[in-house]
């Protein structure tokens, strides 16, 4: 199985040792505490789950600026996006060497992790904007990632953390949330060596299903990891539990048994396009995957990125050998009326737009809300019914 990023073995920051876990929970009672924002809490969950291997905790100012500008830390570790604990006010923890980090997404704000404080530093507004522009390729406040990042605060608390729980993800998604450690272990149990990962924050329509099968066959994979984001999304995106149900139904009916793992991870969507595609590659490598499908407008939003920027970034900004995982580059995928099957559009140069079955997201939502069936060439009927029930309940 492929090695994790930056080390020979995963080093998740979750405290599995029962005695150590109990001791830290006791220690937390007497520590100054900081209520995290959702982004910092998601970073803690990802550190705890091993997805951010080999990072030990939150980055300091110098590393964050270096990662944003050059995609590597000051020590030379390749990394695509700053991993920060930003806050608007650190007064309650200044002078402390150990602090309890509290979860903003769970009632009662329980302790999520304990951090050893190495530095408390402040970014200027110009530095925050400088990082945002590098990460998102825009400073437009209408971009959801820019809006979130620039509102988190300017004070960065850096240092290693020990994670004590996985926030709401294990409780809300017990059948789906998995750590990188658990995914690696299950792949080993299944005897999978070559594994294709498919990232999704949306339900999977017919084209997505066929794309996974095309990639699996092209690289002769032992299996496919469907890996869905379970954290915070922008308004209008479909909730995780609906996506989960739709994807499970699709896999149950339309994939051979034991060829797909359906899992999810606890992270908030960044909508950072190319940089987020590289981040996705890092944590799929940490899961043990050998390939990641990167399609048209991967992790994008609106019209901020070129259609294939998330693919070319691997040529233009990722140094040779920086990652062990390989990228499976996909084009738009749609049902061909001529060929009567799903194809990548680049493989059908003799087709016009009218030869494909394509629907905009807006049109899909309108049809489902109105109780109209989607074309079977676009969506499996059993999947469409699950989505229809959701949209009609929201109407």
Q: Are 51 and 83 in contact (CB under 8 A)?
A: no
- Please count the CA atoms within 13 angstroms of the CA of 6 that sit on its side-chain side: 21
By DSSP bridging, strand 341-344 and strand 119-122 are unpaired
Pick one of 3.90.170.10, 3.30.460.10, 3.40.50.280, 3.10.400.10 as the CATH number of 18-167: 3.10.400.10
> What is the pTM (predicted TM-score) of this model?
0.96
| pLDDT, mean of residues 307-311 | 96
Q: Do domains 18-167 and 176-265+273-394 have the same CATH topology?
A: no
Strand partners, 101: 34, 113
pLDDT tens for each residue of 78-96: 999 999 999 999 999 999 9
- The DSSP symbol for 100 reads E
By DSSP bridging, strand 223-229 and strand 260-265 are parallel
Break the chain down into helix, strand, coil percent, rounded to 5: 35, 20, 45
d(CA 53, CA 7): 8
Produce one character per residue of 190-227: b if its CB has 16 or more CB atoms within 10 Å, e if not.
eebebbbbbbbbebbbbbbbbbbbbbbeebebbbbbbb
Dihedral of the alpha carbons of 143, 146, 151, 157, in degrees to the nearest 10: 160
pLDDT tens for each residue of 346-367: 999 999 999 999 888 889 888 9
d(CA 390, CA 236): 12
- The residues assigned a catalytic role are 201-202
Pick one of 1.10.10.10, 3.40.50.620, 3.20.20.150, 1.20.1260.10 as the CATH number of 176-265+273-394: 3.40.50.620
Tokens of 326: 């390989």
The string of DSSP letters for 210-264 reads: HHHHHHHHHTT-SEEEEEEE-S---TTSPPHHHHHHHHHHHHHHHS-TTSEEEEE
pLDDT at 8 over 90: yes
Delimit the domains of the chain by residue range. 18-167, 176-265+273-394
Name the band, by pLDDT with cuts 50, 70 and 90, for residue 234: confident
């Amino acid at each position: 199985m492929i090695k994790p990023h930056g080390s020979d073995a995963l080093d998740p920051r979750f405290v599995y040792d029962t005695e150590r876990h109990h001791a830290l929970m006791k220690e937390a009672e007497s520590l100054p505490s900081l209520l995290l924002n959702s982004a910092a809490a998601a970073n803690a969950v990802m550190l705890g789950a091993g997805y951010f291997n080999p990072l030990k905790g939150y980055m300091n100012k110098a590393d964050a600026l270096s990662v944003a500008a050059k995609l590597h830390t000051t020590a030379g570790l390749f990394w695509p996006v700053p991993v920060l604990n930003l806050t608007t006010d650190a007064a309650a923890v200044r002078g402390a060497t150990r602090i309890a980090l509290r979860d903003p997404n769970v009632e009662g704000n329980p302790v999520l992790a304990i951090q050893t404080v190495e530095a408390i530093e402040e970014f200027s507004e110009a530095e925050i904007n400088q990082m945002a522009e590098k990460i998102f390729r825009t400073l437009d406040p209408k971009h959801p990632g820019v809006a979130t990042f620039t509102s988190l605060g300017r004070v960065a608390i850096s240092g290693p953390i020990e994670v004590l729980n996985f926030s709401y993800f294990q409780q809300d998604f017990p059948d789906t949330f998995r750590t990188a450690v658990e995914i690696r272990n299950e792949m080993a149990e299944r005897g999978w060596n070559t594994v294709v990962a498919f990232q999704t924050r949306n339900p999977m329509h017919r084209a997505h299903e066929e794309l996974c099968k095309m990639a699996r066959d092209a690289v002769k994979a032992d299996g496919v990891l469907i890996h869905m984001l379970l954290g915070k999304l922008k308004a209008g995106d479909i909730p995780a539990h609906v996506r989960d149900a739709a994807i499970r139904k699709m896999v149950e009916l339309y994939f051979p048994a034991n060829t797909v793992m359906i899992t999810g991870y606890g992270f908030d969507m960044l909508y950072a396009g190319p940089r987020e595609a590289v981040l996705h590659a890092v944590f799929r490598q940490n899961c043990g995957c050998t390939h990641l499908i990167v399609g048209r407008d991967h992790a994008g939003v609106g019209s901020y990125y070129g259609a294939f920027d998330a693919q070319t970034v691997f040529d233009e900004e990722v140094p040779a050998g920086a990652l062990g995982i390989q990228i499976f580059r996909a084009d738009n995928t749609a049902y061909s009326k001529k060929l009567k099957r799903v194809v990548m559009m680049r493989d059908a140069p003799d087709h016009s737009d009218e030869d494909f079955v394509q629907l905009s997201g807006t049109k899909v939502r309108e049809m489902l809300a109105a109780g109209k069936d989607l074309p079977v060439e676009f969506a499996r009927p059993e999947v469409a019914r699950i989505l229809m029930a959701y949209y009609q309940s929201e109407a």
